[in-house]
Structure 1
């Protein structure tokens, strides 16, 4: 993928993977817009960096996506790369009586409908660019689910399937569709995750991921080495063993 001279939107750019990838791409000579719900976090991401911009967006709100997309295209007509990175991950208790579906419903709305709606809103503009990219951030849990976060795991599996379908439909256009599937990374997406020793340090994940994006013919699926075991679990015949190890050893 061309790593300089782009105008890139990164959702969920106020922290974690989104923040660090946005900064990396900005350092390579791209105009980068970070979007998210919390303006103060976005301002921290872009502080002191000319060519980085912050815009508020609630990807769980269809009306806000429509507003945001129209304003974004007007302000940044050269926009040619979309990173669908925003997402939430919350534990669920399916032994509760009754089961609280609020987390499930919020996860589906944010993690599935959010990127689908935003892509739909921006795709006509992206298709008009000489070269465009849509990067959907899924998870290694799309392939081996974490039983404590079933809606999150299911949402990433759905986004994986949708990404494959979108890539096929856009195969004869100038829009390339890439999936980025992280393993467990030390970010604040769940409480205490920043310090879990078994998770991949954020800086290591970003460095290895950027190696793939710097390849001119970027892989359709970008997986760091730690995520490849999960990606290959079914095909390798080790799914049951990996699933048990992942869930028995969960630290949350």
Structure 2
């Protein structure tokens, strides 16, 4: 797919992976709309990166997604790329008796439901375009669990499976919509995990730079790749197939 003259919607586009791709895709002559929950953050990002278009919304809220989809349809009917980047990662103990049930599934609402809901809401519009694309962001941890991130890995495994199903259904429908799964390894620059679990930590793993991840993903989008599995994610994919228990156990110490 030619990555210019598109209208691109990026959830989680005001920070981390989403913002990194937004900046690169803007440079390539695309109209880029970044979605974020905090209007102050949106305003700051738009001021810093001239040309980006900001849209406030919450992918964990069905009401918000319906409003965003309606706004996009009315104001950007030509939108033809959806980049699902919104996500959170938390470490916590399942044996914590003080944790509310709602807190235990925050990643499900944003990482998994948000990806599914946003895609479903915009699919009718994407299907009307001559050529379109949906990008989902899973993780190397979709291939095996990180014990101190008990829900994150599960949601990313769900994103992986959902993306495959979406691709197959669209292929069979004859619609010209490319579906690519981006499978990032650890990218420390994203500050994805705001909190830690006291007394426990993941083992030291090499971190990929945001610039490198963006280069891998852009190349994959241009070539209509089914999935892009760069760096350590390849190792985690192999480990998930052949040594899931030993590798998961080695990811916790202390």
TM-score normalised by L of structure 1? 0.89
What pairs with 1:29-48 in structure 2 (closer than 5 Å)? 29-47=29-47
Q: Is the 8 Å Cα contact of residues 108 and 155 (structure 2) preserved in structure 1?
A: yes
Residues 92-112 of structure 1: CA deviation (Å, up to 9, x unaligned): 211223553222222211111
Residues 17-55 of structure 1: CA deviation (Å, up to 9, x unaligned): 100111001111111000010122223333354542000
What pairs with 1:1-252 in structure 2 (closer than 5 Å)? 1-47=1-47, 49-97=49-97, 99-171=99-171, 172-186=174-188, 187-191=190-194, 198-214=206-222, 217-235=223-241, 237-248=242-253
Structure 2 unpaired stretches of 5+: 197-203
Distance 2:118 2:41 in 1: 21
Q: After TM superposition, give the deviation of residue 170 of structure 1 in Å.
A: 0.5
Q: After TM superposition, give the deviation of residue 218 of structure 1 in Å.
A: 2.6
The root-mean-square deviation of aligned C-alpha atoms, in Å, is 2.1
Q: After TM superposition, give the deviation of residue 197 of structure 1 in Å.
A: 7.6
Matched residues, number? 244
Q: After TM superposition, give the deviation of residue 88 of structure 1 in Å.
A: 1.4
Q: Is the 8 Å Cα contact of residues 90 and 103 (structure 1) preserved in structure 2?
A: no
For the residue of structure 2 that corresponds to 1:47, the secondary structure is helix
Residues 63-118 of structure 1: CA deviation (Å, up to 9, x unaligned): 01001110012111110000111011111211223553222222211111111111
Distance 1:68 1:180 in 2: 24
**4+ residue segments displaced more than 6 Å:** none
